[in-house]
Structure 1
Amino acid sequence: MKENTVIKKMSAGMLLNYVLITILAFACLYPFLNVLATSLSGYNPVLSGKVTFYPIDFTIEAYKQILGRTTIWTAMRTTVAITLMGTMLSLILTILAAYSLSIEDLPGRKFMTGMILFTMYFGGGMIPTFLVVKGVGLYNTLGALFIPQSISVFNFIVMRTFFKGLPESLKDAARIDGASYLMILLKIVLPLSLAVIATIGLFYAVGYWNSYFDALIYIQDGDKYTLQLRLRSLLFGNELGNAADDVGGTVVMPQSLKMATVVVSTLPILVVYPWMQKYFVKGVMLGSVKG
């Protein structure tokens, strides 16, 4: 009887958990489903506010107009370029800094680590950073969007913790065979760190892809706008107009055009993330418990 009671309590508890998780999952998914449904719905349902989480009067005219704009494709290419260059630079700098400062007998290791951690809590401020960026000639260039913020202290800590947790016996054996620190990094450390590198790379890539504030401050030319800044100008500016647009005889609401732009800017990350998820979870767990 006691075992049956325990099983019933566990079943009731599991059922309650499933219900709560389902509600939370729907609450998280509903905004995106609403955006997607609005972008695929016709003029009248959007105008009357009938669209919830599924399209009504299905149409793709909003996407035809958005993808027909050269400004969107230009912003897409710029964002892809910044994401690729920024992620590569950030990974290289983070790996080199984390590996160097994970070496126990490095002179001044604690001091340099402390200086890096200091920047995590006390930043230079927006105006001094702007003056530095402008002073070194990066203002209104794509370099201003990834060079000043090319390393994250949090990502550095995660990677350094992981490197410190690698077996010292492997490194010692390599040193006995005459391997340099660089050779140890390339031949031993990096092959054993693919999971955490993929995780940190995903952190950086998502950050560069979603960043718009840096472009808002440092970029003036419209042909250098990132996708997120172009999206902002579409959502809060007058690029789409305030009235409905007639596309090939089909009336398209500005709201549908805005939501289509949101989907276009979000879709690449949604496509890439499932392929990186196994590395993401594994890398975060390893980087947090080792060392």
Structure 2
Amino acid sequence: MAPYGILIWAVITAVLASILILASHVHNARRNRTTSVAFFHPYTNDGGGGERVLWCAVKAIQEESPDLDCIVYTGDHDASPDSLLARAVDRFGVELLHPPKVVHLYRRKWIEESTYPRFTMIGQSFGSVYLSWEALCKFTPLYYFDTSGYAFTYPLARIFGCRVICYTHYPTISLDMISRVREGSSMYNNNASIAQSNWLSQCKIVYYTFFSWMYGLVGSCADLAMVNSSWTQSHIEKLWGIPDRIKRVYPPCDTSGLQVLPLERSTEYPAIISVAQFRPEKVGYKLISTRHILFNLRHFQLP
């Protein structure tokens, strides 16, 4: 029994030592926390609406609270303050008041889909916690702003003493995903081999149900959550259970190209191809700018 007792005490000692080391890191980070806003956006060259939201949010902070520094956590090693400033203008037409500061992350592989051939969703979620640990240890802000949808990082940011703001484009898991598995529908998130097996479908329902519970738990740690549509808002409110802290903010769209189009139209009937979901906020008559993000941040009472 003596060898087993020694082994148990060794494990307990190692666990306690790890906890003390982690506590020391958190304590030092909280003590050195600066009055700033850090944006968790590991892919700053992904393009599309997600990156546009990032730059509109940075600009909103710079306009509303110029005394707050804006920092971007990125896994793109070639990103620099000047290159990101130029990208915001050239790619999205968003003119920042000054370049954001950059904190480079070197553990981005832990959130890449290729790292998790199976259980990808939960793997990426826990991987994002590890990546945000690197980010927060390198720089601890007062406000932690997630613009990429990594909700599992919110409790960690709260532990580091940050106030958490997020912009959610799409929930990591939705109630529709669970319904498709329950109905045996074969789709992108439910391959045919699982859809055709009642036992595998039941296992996946348990997995999805457990993950949705965890997603709701971590998402509820957000102090202010902005969502991009009525569909996302409905799912996030049900999953996170914080409807009073959720605001619908339609994605910022650049309409300068539309404004220069001639008013005259051809008499021929146009051919319309829809490549996305068709909802009122997707049609184009509810377009927002930096000011809409700014409005919600003002209600968040930034200093």
Which range, TM-score by smaller chain?
under 0.3
Larger RCO (alpha carbons 8 Å, 6+ apart): 1
| Greater per-residue helix proportion | 1
TM value normalised by structure 1: 0.21
TM value normalised by structure 2: 0.20
